[in-house]
Structure 1
């Protein structure tokens, strides 16, 4: 069907290219971009995914939180696109035509020390500048509401935080793309890209189950997630190559050893690490109410995404327990078990991340018209995905 679609399109259009846009990477961001572009007049979009299903890497390996956007610098893409993406999700949900399971449960960011209260004050000021709603909650009232949650010095509530089914959200965008006759190529890996400036046109060599094929496109969007630097480096000159860094986040399931009663129906976050390279090992839950903790932060000593081992690291359980115990003292170490892990695509090292904020990179590369790079699309990528799609569309239209 995929090869037939290429021939059919090529034969029925006056354009020379097989597609107007090829998107590399079928995670939530790539799929949302595909759906957005396919809605535009005269667009014929191909979404290429190397796995046998969409969204089985970073998209399916996160905490499924709808982030409010309060952590990021006001002029950053992370802030702008997170907030815009969050608003798109809630607006669609309110309209009632959005068949995606979600819950606007809110979250508490809890402080146990005076210096953490200072951090909460800075975070509240940042949220105010971003027009993200937050409010301080009395620790006494908090204790009455959730007696098992510890917050010695302060609590900042984020009422617009929520949780969402990442699978449902992916299916929403995939359905929109396919309903508008977009084309999806699974089990297809891009192994080379050439740019022919005289036409102009991009030629992609793609490895499929049936051998290598060549596809031409007017434009390319690199939304390959963990593999995005590798894809970018195929095309860009060596002095513009990107280096990949990988930060693993382990998640831990929770089974109480004895009944504790109601713990919380609000997400609980500790004060995060510097520059929000990690938001700390936090308490979340799924849409069924099952508690889980994570992610922690474990930098991987690897150079390529193919070398990632997604097995959750049991050695991190003790550190996770100690982190969680600061805000949930009743937890026992034996009630936690390694569950799953995800990996954040980073563009700066562990050392650099402690010194500077790392923003999304979304840009059309100089000298390669129509080639749009998306790099370092980590959290809040799930929340921001719909807004990222609109942002990319606006580069072209």
Structure 2
């Protein structure tokens, strides 16, 4: 990802990431993350209290800090524009605003796949033109709609229930404290998200979030202010000098989930990405539960899909 961004001038920054622990229980969770990451040869290390205080004096970490030095941020819109342009330069075609309404495997995919889309009429808001194409392979990378699409294809006993984790982000309108590193609270086993963490945008502005609110509606992007106090308490545990009055609702995102288990490999209930060539079908790869960091994992996921298919 860093090589791609450097080569094609996609705005990005290697910020690093801290996961902070305030007590012994949280420190045990950090140790599990450390051990798992180390087993995969991912660069990760514990910081001494002296180094942590010197580098980020405003961050509170009573028990310890685990650092991921290779974590960074990227301008997601620029990245997506590049990927679309690169795809089209290589002969790909994008059909936006064309929801898939039906998928038919021909001889279990051995003769290909019929994919039917129905566009939305700009005049009436209702259904517009219907079109069907035939493809030799089908990669279901439909994000929030990936599980419903998969359920169109697989037999009923292999259907899955989609879960949607709605998360509100919070803006910060004053200039201090302003860490230069992403800061995450220690993971809570079984929690659906990564805690209300401190993130940065490309201009250096601080945001907090997302929190977790389960919803059954993948189109529900209304911010929810009822969780603001809980988020403030969460943030103040690792950034005690914040001005609580300067934090307000910003925007909402929704993550596709495979269940209500944890997002971090620190305990029971962890749920990983589902990247699978589905048994009994030719040329069909399912990508389910691809939540954050699905975008920054996109190139690695693509390599995995290519290996599965070819």
Same fold by TM-score greater than 0.5: yes
Aligned residue for 1:331, secondary structure, equals: coil
Aligned counterparts of 1:294 and 1:274: Cα–Cα separation in 2? 18
Partner of 1:233: 151
Partner of 1:121: 31
- The answer to whether the aligner puts 1:327 opposite 2:238 as a matched pair is yes
Aligned residue for 2:32, secondary structure, equals: helix
Partner of 2:86: 176
- The answer to whether the aligner puts 1:164 opposite 2:74 as a matched pair is yes
* TM-score (ref. length: structure 2): 0.90
Partner of 1:90: 2
- The answer to whether the aligner puts 1:217 opposite 2:170 as a matched pair is no
Q: 1:194 to 1:141 in 2, by over 3 A?
A: closer
- The answer to whether the aligner puts 1:286 opposite 2:201 as a matched pair is yes
Partner of 2:124: none
Partner of 1:380: 293
The count of aligned residue pairs is 300
Aligned counterparts of 1:348 and 1:107: Cα–Cα separation in 2? 26
Aligned residue for 1:349, secondary structure, equals: coil
Q: CA deviation at 1:263?
A: 2.6
**More moved, 351-360 vs 318-327:** 351-360
Query: Out of 103, 107, 110, which is 1:197 matched to?
Result: 107
8 Å CA contact retained: 1:275, 1:357: yes
- The answer to whether the aligner puts 1:244 opposite 2:162 as a matched pair is yes
Partner of 1:265: 180
Q: CA deviation at 1:100?
A: 0.9
8 Å CA contact retained: 1:276, 1:357: no
Aligned residue for 1:326, secondary structure, equals: helix
Aligned residue for 1:383, secondary structure, equals: coil
Q: Deviations over 1:43-92 (max 9, x none)?
A: xxxxxxxxxxxxxxxxxxxxxxxxxxxxxxxxxxxxxxxxxxxxxx1233
8 Å CA contact retained: 2:262, 2:270: no
TM-align CA RMSD: 2.1
Q: For 1:20-99, what aligned pairs fall within 5 Å after superposition?
A: 89-93=1-5, 96-99=6-9
Partner of 1:38: none
Q: Deviations over 1:169-225 (max 9, x none)?
A: 111211111111211111211111112218713212210244112211122111111
8 Å CA contact retained: 1:321, 1:332: no
Unaligned 5+ segments in structure 2 are 122-127
Partner of 1:63: none
Aligned counterparts of 2:285 and 2:33: Cα–Cα separation in 1? 32
**More moved, 143-152 vs 289-298:** 143-152
Structure having the larger proportion of residues in helix: 1
Aligned residue for 2:73, secondary structure, equals: strand
Q: CA deviation at 1:138?
A: 2.2
Q: Deviations over 1:6-65 (max 9, x none)?
A: xxxxxxxxxxxxxxxxxxxxxxxxxxxxxxxxxxxxxxxxxxxxxxxxxxxxxxxxxxxx
Q: CA deviation at 1:141?
A: 3.4
**More moved, 208-217 vs 247-256:** 208-217
Unaligned 5+ segments in structure 1 are 1-88
Q: For 1:96-115, what aligned pairs fall within 5 Å after superposition?
A: 96-115=6-25
Partner of 2:309: 396
**More moved, 269-278 vs 383-392:** 269-278
Aligned counterparts of 1:194 and 1:170: Cα–Cα separation in 2? 29
Aligned residue for 2:137, secondary structure, equals: strand
**More moved, 224-233 vs 108-117:** 108-117
Q: CA deviation at 1:143?
A: 2.3
Aligned counterparts of 1:294 and 1:98: Cα–Cα separation in 2? 29
8 Å CA contact retained: 2:112, 2:283: no
Q: CA deviation at 1:381?
A: 0.8
**More moved, 291-300 vs 195-204:** 195-204
Partner of 1:343: 254
Q: CA deviation at 1:113?
A: 0.9
